[in-house]
């Protein structure tokens, strides 16, 4: 995600590495690169200018020039400014004190509105009993799509009668239906258009007046870059949006939208769509996003994902150990298994510390190698997995023989484990803010 910016920042920080002190010239070079990286990532130039100005103002001053580790300082400043630009804290969805809570989903056709409506419904179940309502009277296919997605996800659905012409009648019908079946959350999936025209806006405004929503959520496709920012501005002007769902962040979105929407409209990005499946929705977290942009991995995101996907408490164990700052070979083995379960290896790896910089090294991640690494750990005793330090010469030979590998491969795995353990340790203190690992700017990451 946001590879363009990330690569740029990575290369800048590599250049800065090893310098005891930063000169004004160093800062200028870094700022030029950051500016270019942001522009290339489709960020509005005015946004870029103010961002770069604030980074520079902090960098050139006392904070960086007097610092012993200038690269770390600059990283921290860029990180802070990036996350501040996207909004410092996640903004949760509002729930009305008096049910039903109503969400109005708006956006252009193809942006991901229908999918996001069901994703949100799933996310808020079973704490709530959501009803998704199809309000696109022009496109029967859109109604059908919502019905099918809702059915697959076991979410309540309400749609227009055949030939219905009045969208407000659908809304009224949905309210009665929700009341009769005790739905406390009504999610209206509104009509999609190719462009935001007057007629659409009038229709949405009428819906808003009839049934005042707790949230008016605009769904925009992150891949559309600056266009997403324009769309957000025009919808916001007419409807006073309360939040944005940025969809398709799993694709090769360039990131401009996430960086600029909040800045330009003042509307917070609340959620991020990260896949076609109706479970692929995340709370938009600017801190985490800034970390990802900068290639520092996303340990928290990974831990969450593992937790969601695994059965039998394996994930809790990893999360627990993470908190205790302990990462054993057993955890590594669990991770290999989870990675295999979670599919697209690269996507998962992107969230892990150290892997961000390994882009292009995907050749190293072939399943054969992963299988071999697993076999090596599986050939160890429990004690060895928990206390890898005891694995000396003779044990290494035994493990190699047991796993059908070589001592060299075992050594390699252990060295890589050690590297990863250090990274986990630095990131394991979830929620305590940024900790900059010393090895952040060097090292080759972890290879299977």
Query: Is there binding between residue 437 and ligand GDP (CB under 6 A)?
Result: no
Q: Which of residues 138-177 bind ligand GDP (CB under 6 A)?
A: 145
- The least CB distance from residue 150 to ligand GDP, in Å, is 12
Site string for ligand GDP, 277-316 (x = CB under 6 A): ---x------------------------------------
Nearest residue to ligand GDP, scored by beta-carbon proximity: 273
Q: Which of residues 68-107 bind ligand GDP (CB under 6 A)?
A: 107
- The least CB distance from residue 30 to ligand GDP, in Å, is 33
Query: Is there binding between residue 110 and ligand GDP (CB under 6 A)?
Result: yes
- The least CB distance from residue 200 to ligand GDP, in Å, is 13
Query: Is there binding between residue 115 and ligand GDP (CB under 6 A)?
Result: yes
Contacting residue, 73, 75, 114, 263, with ligand GDP by CB under 6 A? 114
Inter-CA distances, 208 with 95, 170, 327, 437, Å? 16, 13, 51, 49
Site string for ligand GDP, 219-238 (x = CB under 6 A): x-------------------
Query: Is there binding between residue 37 and ligand GDP (CB under 6 A)?
Result: no
- Looking only at the bridges linking them, the beta strands covering 101-106 and 185-189 are parallel
Sequence-ordered alpha helix ranges (H) in 310-366: 314-323, 329-342, 345-350
- The least CB distance from residue 50 to ligand GDP, in Å, is 29
Determine the number of helices (DSSP H) and then strands (DSSP E) in the chain.
20, 8
Kindly write down the DSSP assignment for every residue of 226-239, as one continuous string: HHHHHHHHHHHHHH
- The least CB distance from residue 229 to ligand GDP, in Å, is 17
Contacting residue, 50, 69, 96, 109, with ligand GDP by CB under 6 A? 109
* Calpha distance 228→273 (Å, rounded): 14
Query: In terms of C-beta distances under 8 Å and separation of at least 24 residues, what long-range contacts does 114-117 make, across chains too?
Result: 114/142, 114/145, 114/146, 114/149, 114/189, 114/192, 115/149, 115/247, 115/273, 115/276, 115/278, 116/217, 116/219, 116/245, 116/247, 116/271, 116/273, 116/281, 117/146, 117/187, 117/189
* SS3 state at 118: helix
Based on CB atoms, which residue is closest to ligand GDP, 193 or 447?
Answer: 193
Residue 365's φ and ψ, nearest 5 degrees, are: -100, 30
Contacting residue, 237, 276, 346, 366, with ligand GDP by CB under 6 A? 276
Place of tokens 């996430």: 258
Query: Is there binding between residue 208 and ligand GDP (CB under 6 A)?
Result: no
Stretch that binds ligand GDP, among 25-33, 112-120, 326-334, 432-440 (CB under 6 A): 112-120
Cβ atoms 289, 296 nearer than 8 A: no
Query: What contacts 329, CB < 8 A, 6 or more positions away?
Result: 377, 380, 384, 385, 386, 388, 417
Q: Which of residues 318-337 bind ligand GDP (CB under 6 A)?
A: none
- The least CB distance from residue 93 to ligand GDP, in Å, is 17
Kindly write down the DSSP assignment for every residue of 285-309, as one continuous string: -HHHHHHHHTT---HHHHHHHHHHH
- The least CB distance from residue 356 to ligand GDP, in Å, is 20
Contacting residue, 15, 90, 99, 251, with ligand GDP by CB under 6 A? 251
Q: Which residues contact ligand GDP (rule: CB under 6 A)?
A: 107, 109-115, 145, 192, 219, 247-248, 250-251, 273-276, 280
């Amino acid at each position: 995600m946001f590879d363009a910016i990330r690569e740029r920042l990575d290369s800048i920080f590599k250049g800065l590495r090893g310098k005891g002190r930063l000169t004004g010239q160093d800062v200028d070079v870094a700022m030029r690169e950051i500016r270019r990286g942001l522009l290339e990532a489709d960020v509005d130039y005015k946004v870029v200018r103010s961002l770069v100005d604030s980074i520079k103002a902090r960098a050139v001053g006392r904070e960086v020039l007097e610092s012993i580790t200038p690269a770390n300082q600059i990283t921290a400043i860029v990180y802070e400014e990036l996350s501040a630009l996207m909004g410092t804290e996640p903004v949760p969805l509002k729930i009305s004190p008096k049910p039903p809570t109503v969400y109005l989903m708006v956006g252009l056709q193809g942006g991901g509105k229908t999918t996001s409506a069901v994703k949100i419904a799933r996310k808020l179940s079973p704490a709530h009993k959501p009803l998704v309502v199809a309000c696109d009277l022009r496109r029967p296919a859109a109604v059908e799509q919502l019905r099918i997605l809702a059915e697959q996800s076991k979410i309540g659905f309400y749609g227009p009668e055949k030939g219905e012409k009045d969208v407000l009648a659908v809304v009224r019908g949905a309210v009665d239906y929700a009341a009769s079946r005790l739905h406390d959350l009504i999610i209206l999936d509104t009509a999609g258009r190719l462009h935001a025209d007057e007629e659409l806006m009038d229709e949405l405004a009428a819906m808003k007046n009839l049934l005042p929503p707790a949230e008016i959520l605009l769904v925009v496709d992150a891949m559309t870059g600056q266009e997403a920012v324009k769309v957000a501005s025009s919808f916001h002007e007419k409807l006073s949006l309360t939040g944005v769902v940025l969809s398709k962040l799993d694709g090769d979105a360039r990131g401009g939208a996430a960086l600029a929407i909040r800045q330009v409209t003042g509307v917070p990005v609340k959620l991020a769509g990260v896949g076609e499946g109706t479970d692929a929705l995340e709370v938009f977290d600017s801190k985490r996003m800034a970390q990802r942009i900068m290639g520092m991995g996303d340990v928290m995101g990974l831990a969450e994902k593992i937790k969601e996907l695994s059965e039998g408490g394996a994930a809790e164990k990893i999360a627990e150990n993470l908190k205790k700052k302990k990462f054993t070979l057993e955890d590594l083995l669990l991770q290999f298994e989870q990675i295999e379960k979670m599919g697209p290896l690269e996507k998962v790896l992107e969230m892990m510390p150290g892997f961000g910089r390994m882009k292009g090294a995907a050749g190293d991640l072939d399943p054969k190698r992963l299988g071999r690494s697993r076999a090596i750990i599986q050939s160890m005793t429990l004690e060895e997995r928990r206390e890898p330090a005891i694995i000396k010469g003779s044990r290494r030979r035994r493990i190699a023989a047991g796993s059908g590998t070589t001592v060299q491969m075992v050594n390699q795995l252990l060295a890589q484990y050690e590297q990863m353990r250090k990274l986990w340790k630095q990131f394991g203190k979830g929620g305590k803010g940024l900790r900059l690992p010393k090895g952040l700017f060097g090292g080759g990451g972890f290879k299977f």
